Protein backbone atom coordinates (compact mmCIF):
# COMPACT_ATOMS: atom_id res chain seq x y z
CA UNK A 1 0.00 0.00 0.00
CA UNK A 2 1.19 3.49 -0.68
CA UNK A 3 2.20 5.86 2.04
CA UNK A 4 0.00 8.56 0.59
CA UNK A 5 -2.89 7.24 2.61
CA UNK A 6 -2.64 8.02 6.30
CA UNK A 7 0.73 9.78 6.29
CA UNK A 8 1.58 13.16 4.89
CA UNK A 9 5.03 14.63 4.46
CA UNK A 10 6.10 18.26 4.29
CA UNK A 11 8.32 20.73 6.12
CA UNK A 12 5.66 22.65 8.05
CA UNK A 13 5.51 26.42 7.76
CA UNK A 14 4.29 27.18 11.26
CA UNK A 15 6.90 28.71 13.57
CA UNK A 16 7.31 29.07 17.35
CA UNK A 17 5.99 32.64 17.03
CA UNK A 18 2.67 31.35 15.72
CA UNK A 19 2.05 29.73 19.09
CA UNK A 20 0.91 31.98 21.93
CA UNK A 21 2.19 31.29 25.46
CA UNK A 22 3.98 28.04 26.42
CA UNK A 23 7.39 29.70 26.62
CA UNK A 24 9.05 27.03 28.78
CA UNK A 25 7.55 24.21 26.78
CA UNK A 26 8.83 25.68 23.53
CA UNK A 27 12.30 25.93 25.08
CA UNK A 28 12.18 22.28 26.15
CA UNK A 29 11.12 21.21 22.68
CA UNK A 30 13.83 23.32 21.10
CA UNK A 31 16.45 21.51 23.15
CA UNK A 32 14.95 18.05 22.75
CA UNK A 33 13.99 18.23 19.08
CA UNK A 34 15.70 21.13 17.37
CA UNK A 35 19.16 20.80 18.94
CA UNK A 36 19.85 17.11 18.18
CA UNK A 37 19.02 17.77 14.54
CA UNK A 38 20.70 21.16 14.14
CA UNK A 39 23.68 20.47 16.37
CA UNK A 40 24.21 16.76 15.76
CA UNK A 41 28.00 17.32 15.86
CA UNK A 42 27.89 18.77 19.34
CA UNK A 43 25.89 15.81 20.60
CA UNK A 44 28.35 13.41 18.99
CA UNK A 45 31.33 15.35 20.39
CA UNK A 46 30.04 15.08 23.94
CA UNK A 47 28.77 11.57 23.44
CA UNK A 48 25.18 12.45 24.28
CA UNK A 49 22.58 10.25 22.70
CA UNK A 50 19.56 12.39 21.86
CA UNK A 51 16.14 11.30 23.02
CA UNK A 52 14.04 9.49 20.44
CA UNK A 53 10.52 10.24 21.49
CA UNK A 54 8.49 13.03 23.05
CA UNK A 55 4.95 12.54 24.29
CA UNK A 56 2.74 15.63 24.42
CA UNK A 57 -0.41 15.31 26.46
CA UNK A 58 -3.18 17.66 27.39
CA UNK A 59 -6.72 18.69 26.48
CA UNK A 60 -7.78 18.96 22.82
CA UNK A 61 -7.19 22.18 20.92
CA UNK A 62 -4.24 23.37 23.00
CA UNK A 63 -1.59 23.18 20.25
CA UNK A 64 0.01 19.73 20.59
CA UNK A 65 -0.05 19.25 16.81
CA UNK A 66 1.02 22.83 16.18
CA UNK A 67 3.98 22.46 18.58
CA UNK A 68 5.14 19.33 16.76
CA UNK A 69 4.92 21.17 13.45
CA UNK A 70 6.77 24.20 14.80
CA UNK A 71 9.54 21.93 16.09
CA UNK A 72 9.84 20.37 12.63
CA UNK A 73 9.88 23.81 11.03
CA UNK A 74 12.60 25.03 13.38
CA UNK A 75 14.71 21.95 12.66
CA UNK A 76 13.84 22.09 8.94
CA UNK A 77 12.81 18.47 9.26
CA UNK A 78 10.40 16.52 7.07
CA UNK A 79 7.17 16.01 8.95
CA UNK A 80 5.36 12.69 8.72
CA UNK A 81 1.95 12.78 10.29
CA UNK A 82 0.03 9.65 11.25
CA UNK A 83 -3.22 9.27 13.09
CA UNK A 84 -3.54 6.46 15.62
CA UNK A 85 -7.27 6.27 14.99
CA UNK A 86 -6.76 6.04 11.24
CA UNK A 87 -4.15 3.28 11.50
CA UNK A 88 -6.41 1.40 13.85
CA UNK A 89 -9.36 1.51 11.48
CA UNK A 90 -7.48 0.05 8.51
CA UNK A 91 -7.65 -3.49 7.21
CA UNK A 92 -5.68 -6.04 9.16
CA UNK A 93 -2.01 -5.66 8.34
CA UNK A 94 -2.44 -2.44 6.39
CA UNK A 95 -1.85 -0.23 9.42
CA UNK A 96 1.42 -2.00 10.27
CA UNK A 97 2.64 -1.72 6.69
CA UNK A 98 1.85 1.97 6.66
CA UNK A 99 3.61 2.44 9.99
CA UNK A 100 6.74 0.65 8.76
CA UNK A 101 6.66 2.61 5.50
CA UNK A 102 6.46 5.88 7.41
CA UNK A 103 9.59 5.03 9.40
CA UNK A 104 11.37 3.93 6.26
CA UNK A 105 10.45 7.09 4.42
CA UNK A 106 11.44 9.16 7.44
CA UNK A 107 14.89 7.53 7.44
CA UNK A 108 15.33 8.36 3.77
CA UNK A 109 14.13 11.93 4.22
CA UNK A 110 16.08 12.60 7.45
CA UNK A 111 16.13 14.85 9.32
CA UNK A 112 12.55 13.86 10.02
CA UNK A 113 9.91 14.06 12.63
CA UNK A 114 7.22 11.42 12.79
CA UNK A 115 4.12 12.70 14.52
CA UNK A 116 1.40 10.44 15.92
CA UNK A 117 -1.89 12.03 16.76
CA UNK A 118 -4.17 10.08 19.13
CA UNK A 119 -1.32 7.70 19.91
CA UNK A 120 -3.37 6.25 22.78
CA UNK A 121 -5.51 4.38 20.25
CA UNK A 122 -2.59 2.19 19.22
CA UNK A 123 -0.78 2.28 22.52
CA UNK A 124 -3.65 1.50 24.82
CA UNK A 125 -2.76 -0.63 27.82
CA UNK A 126 -2.63 -4.26 26.85
CA UNK A 127 -4.99 -6.80 28.24
CA UNK A 128 -7.74 -4.27 28.85
CA UNK A 129 -10.37 -5.96 26.74
CA UNK A 130 -10.95 -9.37 25.26
CA UNK A 131 -12.33 -8.28 21.90
CA UNK A 132 -10.47 -9.03 18.69
CA UNK A 133 -9.78 -5.31 18.33
CA UNK A 134 -7.16 -5.65 21.04
CA UNK A 135 -5.11 -7.76 18.67
CA UNK A 136 -5.17 -5.00 16.08
CA UNK A 137 -3.94 -2.45 18.62
CA UNK A 138 -1.36 -4.91 20.00
CA UNK A 139 0.08 -5.56 16.59
CA UNK A 140 0.28 -1.87 15.81
CA UNK A 141 1.89 -1.19 19.16
CA UNK A 142 4.49 -3.90 18.73
CA UNK A 143 5.30 -2.57 15.25
CA UNK A 144 5.70 0.91 16.68
CA UNK A 145 7.97 -0.37 19.47
CA UNK A 146 10.13 -2.30 17.00
CA UNK A 147 10.47 0.74 14.77
CA UNK A 148 11.31 3.02 17.69
CA UNK A 149 13.95 0.58 18.91
CA UNK A 150 15.38 0.56 15.40
CA UNK A 151 15.92 4.31 15.57
CA UNK A 152 18.96 3.74 17.76
CA UNK A 153 21.18 3.62 14.70
CA UNK A 154 19.23 6.20 12.72
CA UNK A 155 20.30 9.81 12.98
CA UNK A 156 18.04 12.83 12.90
CA UNK A 157 14.73 11.06 13.39
CA UNK A 158 12.45 11.83 16.27
CA UNK A 159 9.02 10.57 17.15
CA UNK A 160 6.53 13.00 18.63
CA UNK A 161 3.17 11.78 19.80
CA UNK A 162 0.07 13.42 21.17
CA UNK A 163 -2.73 12.19 23.37
CA UNK A 164 -5.61 13.49 25.44
CA UNK A 165 -5.50 10.31 27.52
CA UNK A 166 -1.95 9.79 28.83
CA UNK A 167 -3.12 7.33 31.47
CA UNK A 168 -4.33 4.95 28.75
CA UNK A 169 -0.85 4.53 27.32
CA UNK A 170 0.95 1.21 27.62
CA UNK A 171 3.97 1.29 29.93
CA UNK A 172 6.09 -0.31 27.20
CA UNK A 173 6.11 3.03 25.37
CA UNK A 174 7.52 4.78 28.41
CA UNK A 175 10.65 2.63 28.69
CA UNK A 176 14.01 4.33 28.18
CA UNK A 177 14.78 4.95 24.53
CA UNK A 178 11.15 5.40 23.64
CA UNK A 179 9.12 8.36 24.92
CA UNK A 180 11.82 9.68 27.23
CA UNK A 181 10.29 13.10 27.51
CA UNK A 182 6.68 13.60 28.54
CA UNK A 183 5.35 17.14 28.38
CA UNK A 184 2.00 18.44 29.54
CA UNK A 185 0.49 21.04 27.24
CA UNK A 186 -1.92 22.98 29.45
CA UNK A 187 -4.87 25.13 28.43
CA UNK A 188 -3.72 28.74 28.03
CA UNK A 189 -3.49 31.02 31.06
CA UNK A 190 -4.32 34.74 30.86
CA UNK A 191 -0.98 35.75 29.37
CA UNK A 192 -1.12 32.93 26.81
CA UNK A 193 -4.71 33.76 25.82
CA UNK A 194 -3.66 37.33 25.20
CA UNK A 195 -0.77 36.15 23.01
CA UNK A 196 -3.01 33.69 21.14
CA UNK A 197 -5.50 36.49 20.40
CA UNK A 198 -2.61 38.62 19.13
CA UNK A 199 -1.45 35.77 16.86
CA UNK A 200 -4.89 35.19 15.38
CA UNK A 201 -5.71 38.87 14.84
CA UNK A 202 -2.29 39.56 13.30
CA UNK A 203 -3.71 39.72 9.78
CA UNK A 204 -7.04 41.28 10.74
CA UNK A 205 -7.95 44.95 10.71
CA UNK A 206 -8.74 45.59 14.35
CA UNK A 207 -10.29 48.86 15.58
CA UNK A 208 -8.55 50.88 18.32
CA UNK A 209 -11.47 50.27 20.66
CA UNK A 210 -10.58 46.57 20.94
CA UNK A 211 -8.80 45.59 24.15
CA UNK A 212 -7.46 42.08 23.61
CA UNK A 213 -6.27 41.96 27.21
CA UNK A 214 -9.85 42.35 28.36
CA UNK A 215 -10.99 39.64 25.92
CA UNK A 216 -8.27 37.36 27.31
CA UNK A 217 -9.52 38.03 30.83
CA UNK A 218 -13.09 37.20 29.82
CA UNK A 219 -12.22 33.91 28.11
CA UNK A 220 -11.03 31.74 30.97
CA UNK A 221 -10.92 28.01 30.04
CA UNK A 222 -11.00 28.77 26.32
CA UNK A 223 -8.51 26.67 24.36
CA UNK A 224 -6.24 28.00 21.63
CA UNK A 225 -8.49 26.40 19.04
CA UNK A 226 -11.54 28.12 20.53
CA UNK A 227 -9.78 31.48 20.59
CA UNK A 228 -8.79 31.02 16.97
CA UNK A 229 -12.44 30.22 16.17
CA UNK A 230 -13.54 33.28 18.12
CA UNK A 231 -11.33 35.57 16.04
CA UNK A 232 -12.63 34.08 12.81
CA UNK A 233 -16.22 34.45 13.96
CA UNK A 234 -15.63 38.08 14.96
CA UNK A 235 -14.68 38.78 11.36
CA UNK A 236 -17.81 36.99 10.14
CA UNK A 237 -20.07 38.95 12.50
CA UNK A 238 -18.58 42.22 11.27
CA UNK A 239 -19.17 41.19 7.67
CA UNK A 240 -22.71 39.97 8.29
CA UNK A 241 -23.46 43.33 9.83
CA UNK A 242 -21.89 45.24 6.96
CA UNK A 243 -20.30 43.50 4.02
CA UNK A 244 -18.15 46.60 3.36
CA UNK A 245 -16.86 46.79 6.97
CA UNK A 246 -13.26 48.06 7.14
CA UNK A 247 -12.42 46.93 10.69
CA UNK A 248 -13.63 44.61 13.43
CA UNK A 249 -14.71 46.45 16.58
CA UNK A 250 -14.96 45.75 20.27
CA UNK A 251 -18.72 45.28 19.85
CA UNK A 252 -18.13 42.34 17.49
CA UNK A 253 -15.72 40.72 19.95
CA UNK A 254 -18.23 41.08 22.79
CA UNK A 255 -21.09 39.59 20.74
CA UNK A 256 -19.04 36.54 19.81
CA UNK A 257 -17.49 36.08 23.24
CA UNK A 258 -20.91 36.13 24.90
CA UNK A 259 -22.22 33.56 22.43
CA UNK A 260 -19.47 30.99 23.15
CA UNK A 261 -19.00 28.58 26.03
CA UNK A 262 -15.68 26.79 26.49
CA UNK A 263 -15.77 23.01 26.14
CA UNK A 264 -13.29 22.54 28.99
CA UNK A 265 -14.23 22.73 32.62
CA UNK A 266 -11.95 23.07 35.63
CA UNK A 267 -12.04 19.33 36.15
CA UNK A 268 -10.43 18.69 32.74
CA UNK A 269 -7.22 20.35 33.79
CA UNK A 270 -4.48 17.99 35.04
P1 LIG B 1 -6.17 17.82 19.34
O2 LIG B 1 -5.84 17.14 20.64
O3 LIG B 1 -7.63 18.08 19.16
O4 LIG B 1 -5.51 17.20 18.15
P5 LIG B 1 -4.13 19.85 19.56
O6 LIG B 1 -3.76 20.03 20.99
O7 LIG B 1 -3.23 19.04 18.70
O8 LIG B 1 -5.61 19.31 19.46
P9 LIG B 1 -3.85 21.88 17.58
O10 LIG B 1 -4.42 21.04 16.48
O11 LIG B 1 -2.39 22.12 17.58
O12 LIG B 1 -4.30 21.31 18.96
O13 LIG B 1 -4.56 23.30 17.62
C14 LIG B 1 -5.80 23.52 17.02
C15 LIG B 1 -5.87 24.93 16.47
O16 LIG B 1 -5.84 25.86 17.53
C17 LIG B 1 -4.70 25.26 15.57
O18 LIG B 1 -5.21 25.72 14.35
C19 LIG B 1 -3.93 26.35 16.27
O20 LIG B 1 -3.62 27.39 15.39
C21 LIG B 1 -4.86 26.85 17.34
N22 LIG B 1 -4.11 27.00 18.61
C23 LIG B 1 -4.13 26.15 19.67
N24 LIG B 1 -3.29 26.57 20.63
C25 LIG B 1 -2.72 27.72 20.17
C26 LIG B 1 -1.74 28.63 20.68
N27 LIG B 1 -1.19 28.44 21.89
N28 LIG B 1 -1.39 29.68 19.90
C29 LIG B 1 -1.94 29.87 18.69
N30 LIG B 1 -2.85 29.05 18.16
C31 LIG B 1 -3.25 28.00 18.87
Q: What is the pLDDT of residues 171-222, one digit of tens each?
A: 888 888 899 999 999 999 999 999 999 999 999 999 999 999 999 999 999 9
Which atom of ligand 1 is the closest one to the Cα of 163? Answer: 2
* Percent of the chain topping pLDDT 70: 92
> Using CA positions, which residue lies closest to atom 15 of ligand 1?
225
Q: Which ipTM value was assigned to this complex?
A: 0.97
Check pocket membership of 36 for ligand 1, CB cut-off 6 A: no
User: For residue 162, which of 117, 193, 129, 213 has the smallest C-alpha distance?
Assistant: 117
Task: Work out the average pLDDT over 40-57.
Answer: 91
Task: Work out the average pLDDT over 152-163.
Answer: 87
pTM of the predicted protein model: 0.91
Check pocket membership of 65 for ligand 1, CB cut-off 6 A: yes
SS (H, E, C) 222-268: CCHHHHHHHHHHHHHHHHHHCCCCCCECHHHHHHHHHHCCCCCCHHH
CA of 231 to the centre of ligand 1 (A): 14
> Using CA positions, which residue lies closest to atom 3 of ligand 1?
60
Amino acid sequence: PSITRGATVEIPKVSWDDIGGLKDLKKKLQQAVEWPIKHADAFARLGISPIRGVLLHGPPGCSKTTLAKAAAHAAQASFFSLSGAELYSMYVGEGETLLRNAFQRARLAAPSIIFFDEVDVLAAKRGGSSSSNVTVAERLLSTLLTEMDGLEQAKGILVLAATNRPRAIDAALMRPGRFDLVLYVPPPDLEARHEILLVHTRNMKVSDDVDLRQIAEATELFTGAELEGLCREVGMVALREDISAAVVCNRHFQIVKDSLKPALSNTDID
